[in-house]
Amino acid sequence: MVELINPPETRELLPPLLACLPLAFVSPRAPPALLPLLSPILRQRVGVLSSLSTSSTDSWLQLLCWDSGKAERLQRVIDGATFEPHPVSGEIELPDELPVTYKRVDDETLKAQVPLAEYSLTVVYLWCPTDEEGGGRGWRVAELLPREGASDDDNTWASSIGEANIQAKNQLLADTLKAAEEEKVQDNGMENDDDDDDYWAQYDSTPGAKTPAPRAASSKPGPSGLSEQSYFSQYGDVQPAMDNHDPAEEQPEVGPSSLNGDMLASLLRRQVNGGDSEDEPRTNGYAPGHIPNEQAAQGLNHPRPASTSSSGSDAIAKLEQEAESQSTCEMGVKQHIGTSIKSLFRLAKATGMPRAEFQALVSTELELLNIADDD
């Protein structure tokens, strides 16, 4: 149920307040008639602090303003003002026009301000739905401010309560979208930082290939005896983890062996010649003197194709790279979906949509996607 809030009756609220202000010169404590006119929190502040004050120079007028700098100016303004009651009604006269502007701070806080240019004052009221001590629901004084000119007017105040409510919703929506955008930028920045960390960590992931410790770049020999050129030349020995070729993994050349070099040929001769290993060896499968021609011999002597192990390694590396790229894309898509859902929920919340209704809407859209996929 929407609460009905009527505009403040300024000609009924202002005279009792203005009549209490001159009493500050005769009493160090706030008059009892002033306290019901104040909001609950300001009433407690004035009632407690004015009763505890022991200085005759401190006036309770300054307690009506929350800003200490403005509070001193407020007392000077009231000291120089003249509040004369009307000779017939006995009340302080008010200007013919009393403009009222409004500001919605949140769902429970609605303020209204009334400028009094004649007295150089601005009265800020607060709507109190429950205030038994003040006489029930109504407008109560939230703060009394000094007014030095039209420059004190704040553009964030609206001319009506409805306009103030609309302005507050628009501001909440703008703040929500801005927060969502900042969160998205922050998430992207964290992802970039993680990518940079993974890239530079590759240089230290290979054993025996640590990045040299930083040293002052100088052409003169340092404490360790290394010049600038010698220091930077250490980076040539660094083996990145993404480099498939590692010189440290290369096998040394085959050294001398105690095995006979013609053992394989001897075994082949034994098999072809029926077990006689003493027969003369054949050249490229032909017996001596039986080579058809030189061209055929050269064809047989041509080196065999190299092992396909290197091409197999390249294929495996390519598959691993494609799998890693696909995993990164999936992670990015998931993060984008999560961020989008959060932004949509904040947007729905800003417009007043309940959480259950938002979840039902998302579920309905997902079911429609299933129907579309079936078609």
Q: Is residue 332 one of the residues assigned to a domain? A: no
| Residue corresponding to tokens 């609460």 | 3
What is the number of structural domains in the chain? 1
Q: Please tell me the predicted confidence (pLDDT) of residue 128.
A: 94
Q: Is residue 284 one of the residues assigned to a domain? A: no
Q: Is residue 88 one of the residues assigned to a domain? A: yes
CA distance 249 to 234: 20
Domain that holds residue 71: 10-159
Write phi, then psi, for 104 (nearest 5 degrees): -95, 110
234-281 pLDDT, tens digit each? 666 665 555 555 555 555 554 444 445 555 555 555 555 554 545 555
Q: Is residue 234 one of the residues assigned to a domain? A: no
Q: Is residue 40 one of the residues assigned to a domain? A: yes
Residues 6+ positions from 66 with CB-CB distance below 8 Å: 143
Q: Please tell me the predicted confidence (pLDDT) of residue 217.
A: 44
179-228 pLDDT, tens digit each? 888 888 887 767 666 666 777 677 666 555 455 555 444 444 444 455 66
Q: Whole-prediction pTM value?
A: 0.49
- Nearest one of 327, 358, 332, 336 to 345, comparing CA atoms: 358
Q: Please tell me the predicted confidence (pLDDT) of residue 1.
A: 45
Q: Assign 337 a pLDDT band (cuts: 50, 70, 90).
A: confident
Q: Is residue 170 one of the residues assigned to a domain? A: no
Residues 6+ positions from 118 with CB-CB distance below 8 Å: 95
Write phi, then psi, for 46 (nearest 5 degrees): -70, -40
Q: Is residue 87 one of the residues assigned to a domain? A: yes
Q: Is residue 295 one of the residues assigned to a domain? A: no
Query: Under a CB-based contact definition with an 8 Å cutoff, are residues 37 and 13 in contact?
Result: yes
Residues 6+ positions from 50 with CB-CB distance below 8 Å: 28, 29, 30, 60, 63
60-90 pLDDT, tens digit each? 999 999 998 899 999 999 988 888 777 777 7
11-26 pLDDT, tens digit each? 999 999 999 998 888 8
Pairing of strands 101-106, 109-116: antiparallel
